[in-house]
Amino acid sequence: MIGSLVEIVSLMKTSSVLAFALLAPACAQNWPSFRGPGATGVLETSRAVPISWDATSKRHIVWSTAIPGLGHSSPIVWGDRVFVSTAVSSDPKSVFQYPLAGALDRRTDLSKHQFKLYCLDLRTGQVIWEKAAAEVAPRVARHPHNSYASATPATDGKRVIAFFGSEGLYAFDLDGKLLWKQDVGPIDQGAFDVPDYQWGSASSPIIYKNLVIVQCDQQKGSFLAAFDAATGTPVWRAPREALPSWATPTVYEGGSRAELVTNGAEYFRGYDPRTGAELWRIKGTSMISVPTPFAAHGLIYLASGYYRYIQPIVALKPGAAGEVQPAHMAWRTEKGAPYLPTPIVYGDYFYSFNHRGILTVYNAATGERVYEQRLGGGGAFASSPVASGGHLYAASEDGDVYVVKAGPVFELLATNKMGEVVMATPAVANGMLIIRGLNQVFGIAE
């Protein structure tokens, strides 16, 4: 009896967590990979995600959980569990440069690291388990602005796939048991114009049917590869004529076929996800390509916006073949694509938040520009926007999360300060916004 009373008192002390748990719907909404379902960045939930919160007073901060190490990967959600990866350095003086200096900076950290996956409780933020995939020294150096855990995990509800680039691909079950691992080899990614200037990887794995697919663009020997999701057995490998890129691929499933869509240096390309055979290509991307392709309104959206070069945005009609001609594009513009963040289509509009905090909005069907507006004082953006409940959420590296009302007229609803650097793209699930900062993961809900 006394033990039961103690448990009740303990629960009363965490009433906000209890209230959130009691309100959680029986059927959870999942955010299974980078940018959520289909990499769209959009999820409508039965409860509204908050517009404003306060990290200092903890208003609407249901929980916050410290994660050791350095990781720019995004949290993912399946059911009542949150998964997040990190790389824990053995060097107490491990470097992280913020903000990005813009000049050549060869500082790095090649000390032994623990490459880890964490599982958190969605309702409380409590660590359910943590597992080390590997404990080794990195084979390829990272940029001081990057991390060794920048690839977002992916899950199909049966297994969680964690990708640490040169340190391998790992599959765990939802209880943390290692199912299989694959060494994809060292991935030498860095500046196209300074080949020995290594930056490290960031492209995330995706799961399509029974396949785990990774995009490994590097200085020499770029490739796509698919592995059996259950066993890790290699299924196919497709060489790519491409310099390094950091984009995550996406699969678009149309009425007649599926298309594995990739961004990369010089070309956008489409492949058959079952075999790796190339279907189509579009010439004219930036030499540094980061944004992830995604689909909306029956179109495939592509963007490549390294600021020193062309910055194309393409709205592609599905079913292309060979060298894609303009007639197969709903619209295209040569300027306006973001450098780091992936754009988002929400409702009738295409929103592009560039890495300098300028929001440009287009008609998603025609490409007609609607408005352009700077957010804040010009801070840098690495995180991609997400949307829910008629609102767009965009996090700057300074830790300012801007909430913008969706629609043809700019309206800034709130600016929320997280109190720490934010590099990762947020996740949305069950009325909760999950934001990963440099040191903590936050669960934000009414």
| Domain annotation for the chain: domains and CATH numbers | 2-444 (2.130.10.10)
First vs last Cα of the chain: how many Å apart?
A: 33
- 379-400 mean pLDDT: 97
Q: What is the pLDDT of residue 28?
A: 53
Q: What share of the chain is helix, strand, coil (3-state, %, to 5)?
A: 5, 40, 55
Quote the mean pLDDT of the chain. Answer: 93
- 171-190 mean pLDDT: 98
How far CA 130 is from CA of 27, 65, 83, in Å, comes to 25, 13, 10
Q: What is the pLDDT of residue 309?
A: 76
How far CA 279 is from CA of 201, 216, 320, 371, in Å, comes to 26, 19, 7, 35
Total-model pTM: 0.93
- Asked whether the predicted pLDDT for residue 13 surpasses 70, the reply is no
Identify the CA nearest to 329 among candidates 303, 277, 366, 276: 366
- 406-426 mean pLDDT: 98
Q: What is the pLDDT of residue 307?
A: 77
Q: What are the φ/ψ torsions at residue 214 (nearest 5 degrees)?
A: -125, 145
Q: Identify which has the larger pLDDT, 137 or 12.
A: 137
pLDDT in tens, 230-262: 999 999 999 999 999 999 999 999 888 999 999
pLDDT in tens, 322-362: 999 999 999 999 999 999 999 999 999 999 999 999 999 99
DSSP code for 165? G
Q: What is the pLDDT of residue 29?
A: 85
pLDDT in tens, 255-296: 889 999 999 999 999 999 999 999 999 999 999 999 999 999
Which amino acid belongs to residue 195? P
- Asked whether the predicted pLDDT for residue 8 surpasses 90, the reply is no
For the chain, the residue count is 446
Q: What is the pLDDT of residue 146?
A: 98
- 184-191 mean pLDDT: 97
Q: Band the pLDDT of 1: cuts 50, 70, 90.
A: very low
Q: Which of 6-10, 204-208, 396-400, 416-420 is predicted with the least confidence, judged by mean pLDDT?
A: 6-10
Cβ atoms < 10 Å from Cβ of 419 = 14
Query: Cα–chain-centroid distance for residue 405?
Result: 22
Q: What is the pLDDT of residue 400?
A: 98
> Quick one: tokens of 111?
């000390």
Please give the Cα distance from 126 to 66 (Å, whole number): 10
